[in-house]
């Protein structure tokens, strides 16, 4: 098997290096994970960006104060100091998928096993359905799915989901699958459901707020009880909500964001220049949206909007009467009512390219943020915002740290990747394990994740005639890279 794994991983890496230039250097990076992570926060930033980041801090702090309450918030040791860098390669959902839960450790591991550090703040995406690739409508335990959402709810927009009960035991029973779990797992699921029901959701306005509370509670339990006091808290905030609140305070001022929205000449240039980039738009294929998503009438879903004249018109022509005039007072009103929310293009434009926040990226965003930055630099040339070029050139989009499975257990002599609740069920990871992972070479950790990376890249960036069909998993790669006995407590 090791020969096959070596051959297939070599072919995958060769293609990733060929088609995904921003990823090339990571396969040769000799630093340990700990040293690499600490270096992520050593970067230059423009003075203008430092000033703009004060608004980001104010919005984020106010958001968490509302959810957790003044007293609980004060106990969090919350502190954000520019220059800011945030993990953006995460989804606003229950802690579950190995590629996501490991990212928050990977990006801040040098702060672990110390006296209580400031919380880890994650700017997560709520513009995803519950049935996205990383959750599939719930979470996983022991290789078996636990549904949080019904089949009919799985394509909703998470940003618009109201407060809900996390009655996953009843859903699992109704699906006839509760008997698939052994007695210990059944007791754990019942206990976990009861724990969630007793969390303080009193300040939560919707499902996204509930997830922020739930993640704060579940994150420390990924680690053994004796080290939890030396594990930073984890706080999720939807990036859509951060930028929605920022736009309400920015629109009306003179800045490049408002000009992109309301200056028809610059707006047209932007729409033409960014067409075809992942997370921007490709109207002919009904992909993406122009600047905002609009709430679907009577449902917790969203409509894509495309510019026609001076209007953002729903792509679904049944709702053409919901066209949005691109006028400041209209956009402010709809943002205030949450009838629209910013697209990923707008989110990255505000947070990363206008405010200069360093994005800590995954294998998808390391590519498309690099492309977005290049096109922004080209777009600014010759405009009244050409002074922004020197600021934008300093924005570092290369901070790759997500998509690296880090938590494994040896089962029947083989390494098995652990999902979030697998780790909680087993009592959490030990200090010894964490220290071992921190000492591993970053390039080796990247290799472990290449199977899933390739699946993503093949569909978006690799020529169909050149694609391969690998038959290896992250578990196979972990066994090949680390070998038996090289990771602690497996």
pLDDT tens per residue across span 13-34 = 999 999 999 999 999 999 999 9
Q: How confident is the model at residue 490 (pLDDT cuts 50, 70, 90)?
A: very low
Q: Examine the pLDDT at 489 and tell me if it is beyond 60.
A: no
**Token output for 464:** 């169909």
Name the strand (E) or helix (H) holding 81.
none
pLDDT in tens, 304-344: 999 999 999 999 999 999 999 999 999 999 999 999 999 99
Q: Are 460 and 278 in contact (CB under 8 A)?
A: yes
**E-only strand ranges, 258-301:** 281-282, 287-288, 292-295
Q: Give the length of the chain.
A: 490
Distance CA 228, CA 231 (A): 5
pLDDT in tens, 367-410: 999 999 999 999 999 999 999 999 999 999 999 998 888 999 88
Distance CA 299, CA 470 (A): 40
**Token output for 248:** 């309400």
Q: Examine the pLDDT at 40 and tell me if it is beyond 70.
A: yes
Vertex 152 angle, CA 150 and 155, to 5°: 100
Q: Residue 153: is it exposed, middle or buried by C-beta count within 10 angstroms (0-12/13-18/19+)? A: middle
Q: Quick one: which of 405, 361, 448 has its CA closest to 20?
A: 361
What is the dihedral sign for C-alpha 45, 47, 48, 54?
A: positive
Q: Residue 434: is it exposed, middle or buried by C-beta count within 10 angstroms (0-12/13-18/19+)? A: buried
pLDDT in tens, 114-153: 988 899 999 999 999 998 888 989 999 999 999 999 989 9
Q: Are 352 and 86 in contact (CB under 8 A)?
A: no
Instruction: Output the pTM of the full model.
Output: 0.95
Distance CA 178, CA 274 (A): 47
Alpha-carbon dihedral of residues 101, 145, 203, 230, nearest 10 degrees? Answer: -30
More confident residue, 138 or 411: 138
* Phi-psi sector, 144: left (phi>0), alpha (psi -120 to 50), beta: beta
Name the strand (E) or helix (H) holding 437.
helix 431-438
Query: How far, CA to CA in Å, does 396 sit from each of 11, 84, 137, 222?
Result: 29, 11, 34, 30
Query: How far, CA to CA in Å, does 409 sit from each of 422, 428, 440, 475, 478?
Result: 10, 11, 17, 10, 11
pLDDT in tens, 238-257: 999 999 999 999 998 999 99
Hey, where are the domains in the chain? 1-30+444-480, 32-253+357-440
The radius of gyration of the chain's CA atoms, rounded to the nearest angstrom, is 22
**E-only strand ranges, 281-338:** 281-282, 287-288, 292-295, 302-308, 311-314, 324-325
Full DSSP string of 220-269: GGGB-GGGGGGS--EEEEEHHHHHHHHHHHHBTB-SHHHHHHH-HHHHHH
**Token output for 108:** 């801040």
Q: Quick one: which of 286, 285, 287 has its CA closest to 345?
A: 287
Distance CA 424, CA 144 (A): 15
Distance CA 375, CA 151 (A): 40
């Amino acid at each position: 098997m090791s020969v096959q794994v070596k051959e297939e991983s070599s072919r995958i890496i060769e293609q990733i290096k060929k088609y995904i230039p921003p990823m090339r250097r990571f396969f040769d990076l000799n630093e340990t994970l700990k040293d690499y992570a600490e270096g992520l926060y050593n970067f230059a930033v423009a003075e203008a960006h430092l000033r703009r980041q004060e608004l980001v801090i104010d919005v984020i702090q106010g958001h968490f104060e509302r959810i957790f309450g003044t007293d609980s918030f004060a106990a969090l040791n919350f502190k954000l100091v520019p220059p800011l860098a945030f993990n953006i390669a995460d989804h606003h959902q229950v802690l579950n998928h190995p590629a996501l839960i490991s990212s928050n450790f990977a990006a801040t591991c040098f702060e672990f096993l110390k006296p209580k550090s400031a919380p880890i703040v994650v700017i997560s995406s709520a513009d995803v359905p519950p049935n996205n690739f990383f959750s599939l409508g719930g979470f996983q335990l022991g290789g078996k799915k636990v549904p949080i959402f019904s089949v009919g709810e799985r394509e909703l927009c998470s940003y618009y989901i109201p407060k809900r009960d996390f009655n996953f035991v009843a859903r699992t029973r109704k699906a006839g699958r509760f008997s698939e779990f052994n007695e210990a797992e059944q007791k754990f699921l019942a206990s976990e459901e009861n724990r969630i029901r007793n969390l303080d959701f009193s300040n939560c306005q919707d499902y996204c707020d509930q997830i922020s509370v739930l993640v704060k509670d579940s994150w420390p339990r990924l680690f053994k009880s004796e080290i939890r006091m030396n594990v930073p808290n984890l706080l999720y905030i939807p990036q859509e909500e951060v930028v929605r609140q920022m736009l309400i305070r920015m629109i009306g001022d003179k800045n490049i964001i408002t000009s992109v929205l309301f200056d028809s000449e610059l707006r047209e240039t932007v729409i033409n220049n960014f067409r075809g980039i992942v997370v921007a738009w490709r109207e002919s294929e009904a992909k993406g949206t122009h600047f905002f998503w609009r709430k679907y009438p009577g449902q917790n879903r969203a409509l894509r909007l495309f510019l026609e004249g001076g209007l953002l018109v729903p792509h679904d022509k049944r709702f053409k009467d919901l066209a949005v005039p691109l006028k400041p007072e209209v956009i402010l009103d709809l943002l205030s009512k949450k009838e629209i929310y910013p697209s990923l293009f707008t989110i990255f434009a505000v947070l990363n390219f206008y405010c200069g926040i360093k994005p800590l990226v995954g294998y998808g965003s390391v590519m498309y943020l690099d492309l977005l930055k290049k096109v922004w630099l080209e777009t600014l040339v010759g405009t009244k915002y050409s002074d922004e070029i020197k600021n934008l050139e300093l924005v570092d989009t290369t901070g790759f740290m997500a998509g690296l499975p880090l938590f494994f257990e040896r089962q029947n002599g083989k390494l098995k990747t652990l999902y979030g609740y697998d780790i909680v069920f087993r009592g959490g990871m030990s200090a010894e394990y964490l220290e071992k992972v921190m000492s591993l070479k970053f390039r080796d950790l990247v290799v472990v994740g290449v199977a899933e990376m390739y699946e993503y890249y093949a569909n978006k960036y690799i020529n169909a005639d050149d694609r391969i069909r690998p038959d290896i998993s992250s578990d196979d790669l972990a066994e090949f890279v680390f070998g038996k006995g090289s990771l602690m407590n497996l």
